[in-house]
Structure 1
Amino acid sequence: MLNKLSLRMRLTLLTGCIVILTAVCLTLISIHNAERKFVRPNVLQAVTTTKMVPLNSSITPDHEAWIRPAANEEKLSNISVEVRAIKAKDQFVDTSVIYMFIIIILGMAATYVISGRALKPVNQLSKTIKNINEHNLSHRIDHIQTKDEIGSLAGSFNTMLNRLDESFARQKRFAANAAHELKTPLTTIKAGIQVLKLDKSPSIEDYKENVDITELSTQRLIDVVDDLLKLTSEEKAKFADKIALSDTLQHIAQELEPMTRQKNIQIQVVGECSHAIFGNQTLVYRALFNLLENAVKYNKHGGKVQIAVSLRGYNTIIHISDTGIGIPNEELPHIFEPFYRIDKSRSRDIGGSGLGLSIVKTIIEKHNGTIAVQSEPGVGTTFDVLFPSQHK
């Protein structure tokens, strides 16, 4: 029943119950104290005095003649005192009950008014929230000049709106980038088919060229879809493999040797890489491979890639730095978003689906690790990957 009432009415009723209980208790206590302290002693004294009779045997009949009227007069006086005490008690009870109801009514009215003022920021907050939807997530709740739970609620709601706004923005960027990424190979395939249709007598070489282009575009689509599946996969992989970082990094360097030789890039290992981590061998290999591949791919001709492994408490830190083109500061918060490209035309010429760093971040987070990036345009980029060490 109370759930159907407004918060203001519920506060008024609950506070009213407390006021009623308090007023009734105080009234009963005051009536009881008045009876015990004032009424009963006076009545008892009057009754006692009335029952008292002179018992002196030496009193003569002449003396008794004038004592009796005096005794009767005193008896009537005591009865009058008793009656006045009872009437005073009744008047006190009536007055106390009247004041009790007045206090209850005034208390509930004051509670209703005060609770309305206290809940005014809540009503404003509710009206503002109702006007916010997916089309105006940039709107924020005005700062409430209170340092109580309501002000904290408004601040928390603004924080939630910031997250939602950023989430919606990421989804829009993802949809736009994914559509652009998928549209390019599809457009290439369609253009090849249209060229064949326009040619009245296409040669076998034309067909072969078109088939090759179609195959490359199809493979690109397959790679994008495979990367998306890996990115969104919720499969529980085994994370109990003991991964020797030195062997893993050495295998990756060998696999990247054709690319490093072509760009004359040196991969240097600094410090001791004999540390081991526990996780999924295939996933960790894929994450480190993507990072090193990017370090080579976006490096300058004749540049360097430096790898360092260190321990920080119970965590293993892998530093991968390059002397490449770097990343602008305004682009750093977005580089782990799917399909996000800093320079779309240049990135597409270099190759890749735009999902590499997204997959890296997903893999590292599945291992309860973190990844951070620092970069300076024209100087280079450094990725710091943290894996929690597990002693077994």
Structure 2
Amino acid sequence: MKRLSLQWRITLMTVLLIGVTCVVMNLLLCSSGVYYMDTIADTLQGGDTVIMNSEGAESFNPQLVTPDEDLTIVVNGAQGRFRMTNWYITAVVTLLSGVLAYFVSGRALKPLRSFVSQVEKVQLNNLADMRINENVLPEFRQLSCSFNQMLERLDNAFAAQRQFTGNAAHELRTPLALMQAQLELFSAEHPDMLPETTKFLALLREQTERLTQMTKTLLEMSNLQQVARNEQIQLAPMVEEVFTDLALLAEKRNITLEMEGDGFLIGSDALIYRLLFNLTENAVKYNRSGGSVKVSVTQKPEKLLIRVSDTGCGVPEEYQQSIFQPFFRVDKSRSREYGGVGLGLSLVWEIANLHGGCVRVEESSKKGTTIAVELPVQG
């Protein structure tokens, strides 16, 4: 019963109610009909005015007298036909009422379906634009008001979160830059430092650089909403530019870069470039030596499909949804080895979502991973 839709529940309850009502009415009608038939039969047996033959025909001949046995047979036959007719009528009425209840309940639940379709369109970047019309049926008015209030609270919460992230990143950027400058200056002024001191300063510079990159990424993520997304973008030249920028890293790890297909879309040139760069860079970093990375673009009428495939060790199934969360890393030791801070794929998810698209792990095994990005052509 829990798996049935609300429409089917209303239909079944209506059929059950009408069926029980019809059965009760049928039993009452049968009881009443049989009682009055017996009364009529008793009356006829007591007089000579109306005579019924075995076929049930009436004859107003006072000279003829029908035996009691024939009259009893006729009355019993009429009673049987009366009962069967009532049961047929009950079955037909119940069936027709069930069909009508199904379509009527579907019509009555149409506002609920409309509400569900609007809820499914809600995304992180359109909370303020997805308010539901509150001028609806009384039963849905309170639900619509509550939903709109929930959207407003969520929008305010996410706005406060973005503002906090941007403010924190902005405040951290200056002291981190000052720390980097002081460390470099100290190293330049003391070339004859002890090996332990040199190693310690190198570690400090490395961690400061990581914090600087993290702050830069957080600042970018907090300002994504303000970036214009109305540029005409061709993907093939952009992918070639990404390959050029990652050529040294790919050569260092002996990774082959391949490209296939082309496409156009409306969006932010800078953000789409960053999306492609982050996905390709991840595919190169977490690949096996001597492997390959392939970026394929498929143009469709209303959307663009980008696939970035590598020949690495793959992503475990339980982590395939989590890798797009901020600061999540499957292998923390390898991420630190390559300088990762756990925000690259999160930024990819934010950019895809901001353009009205989505990103997912399409396929992953020990032979490699394919990450697919779907973006609407019109943004």
TM-score by length of 1: 0.46
TM-score by length of 2: 0.48
**The structure with more radius of gyration:** 1
